[in-house]
Amino acid sequence: MVHKARQGKVKQIAHLICLSIIMLLPCQLAIGDTIKAKRYQVKEQDTVFGVAQKLLADPALWPKVFLPQNDAEAVLYPGDVLEVVESADQITISKLALQSVQLTPTVRAESIESAIPAIPMPVISPFLNKSRILPEADLQQAAKIIGFEGEHFSVGQGSYLFVQGITADQPIEYDVFIPGKILQDPQSRGTLGVEAQIIGHARLEKRGEPSIFYLTKSFKEVALGSYLLPSEKKAVDANFLLRYPEKQAEGRILSVLEGIEQVGQYSIVTINGGKDFGRQAGDILAICKPSTKVPVRLRHEIPADTQYPKVQVGTALVFRVFDKASYALVTESKDFITVQDEIMAWTH
């Protein structure tokens, strides 16, 4: 009798251990013949897009298959458990309630700062703090460095700057920048903005004409003729939600940051359309090769008016939005991507 009771207790303990392993580790369960379910526990080093890559054949499907009840539930934290249910014709992902999951004891910090970011921060961080797209009017009104303490043509961190064009009502903290490429609308050829490379940060010490600034940080040598504008007040939030555009999606790649022409996975591109298009950080977009006509060398075999269709060659994720342009991260590249390739609504 004692032996049977002991056997029953051993079986019960073994059953509990198996249940705990199922809850704690990525696993896959068969439900009938057509439905499969698996679970994944979010890790501290994860990103939302990285989780989507692990769980889906095409990570751009995430907004279509991840079904949070509200925006708060859509934010992922280390320790969250996701359940993926897959059938013959659809797939859904949901976040399990904490009470339904046995987890090892942890302290759960619910602040947004502890959430995992949408995309890898090391890839995009230089473009969050060291570059801006300025309206042309802002460049025309920007203050300008006209000299330095001592007889220097350029200086580094810890130097004093003499700056012309500071008014009495402007703030204390400034970005030091040099203008780059002028961005033009691909159709109207109107100016969308000017790419500005931030090369340092400066603090106003004394107003006047010229005003005196102290260079608190420099990323490269600051030369005569560099410009200053008030620092942006709000830091860019990396905890945005992945989504499909709610408004206009179409556009083109205007430039590739860091001056290269060909684009690959994790390249940063500038696209036309910003707040004016209703773009938001987290928008998932398709990159397409434009429609083309039959090449001349083939027109003896194919009618000359034949139009080849657009071909989707990649996926981009918007992470920073300006007035009339945006920065996007290329998350997938199936073929060569170049400047002037088209941006479209993502389709599967």
- Same domain, residue pair 168 and 102: no
Rounded Cα distance between 93 and 91, Å, is: 7
**Last residue in a domain, options 54, 82, 116:** 116
Same domain as 193, residue 290: no
In the block, tokens 């608190």 appear at: 216
Tell me the C-alpha distance between 122 and 65, whole Å: 27
Whether 238 maps to a domain, the answer reads: no
Question: Structural domain of residue 186, as residue ranges?
Answer: 126-230
Domain count, the chain: 3
CA 242 → CA 133, 316, 327, distances in Å? 23, 11, 15
For 86, phi and psi rounded to 5 degrees?
A: -125, 130
> Is the Cβ–Cβ distance between 319 and 124 less than 8 Å?
yes
Query: Which residue ranges in the chain fall short of pLDDT 50?
Result: 1-11, 13-33, 99-109
State the amino acid at position 47 in one-letter form: T
Domain boundary among 116, 146, 165: 116
Separation of alpha carbons 7 and 40, rounded Å: 33
Q: Are 210 and 228 in contact (CB under 8 A)?
A: no
- The total number of residues shown for the chain amounts to 348
The reply to whether 141 and 179 lie within a common domain is: yes
Nearest 5°: CA angle at 220, between 215 and 223? 70
- Interior CA angle at 231 toward 230 and 237, to 5°? 145
- Looking at this protein, which amino acid is placed at residue 328? A
User: How many CB atoms neighbour CB 202 within 10 A?
Assistant: 27
Hey, what amino acid is at 11?
K
The answer to the question of residue 311 being in a domain is yes
- Domain stops at, among 95, 116, 137: 116
CB 144 within 8 A of CB 166: no
The answer to whether the beta carbons of residues 65 and 93 sit under 8 Å apart is: yes
Within-domain flag for 240? no
Q: Which helix (H) or strand (E) holds 282?
A: none
End-to-end CA distance of the chain: 62
Pick the closest to residue 299 from 290, 308, 289 (CA basis). 308
pLDDT digits (tens, 9 = 90+) for 161-217: 999 999 888 789 999 999 999 999 998 889 999 999 999 999 999 999 999 999 999
**Same domain for 170 and 256?**
no
Flag whether 268 is in a domain. Answer: yes
Single out the residue of 242, 214, 226 nearest to residue 328, CA to CA.
242
| In a shared domain, residues 110 and 132 | no
Cα–Cα dist 264/338, whole Å: 9
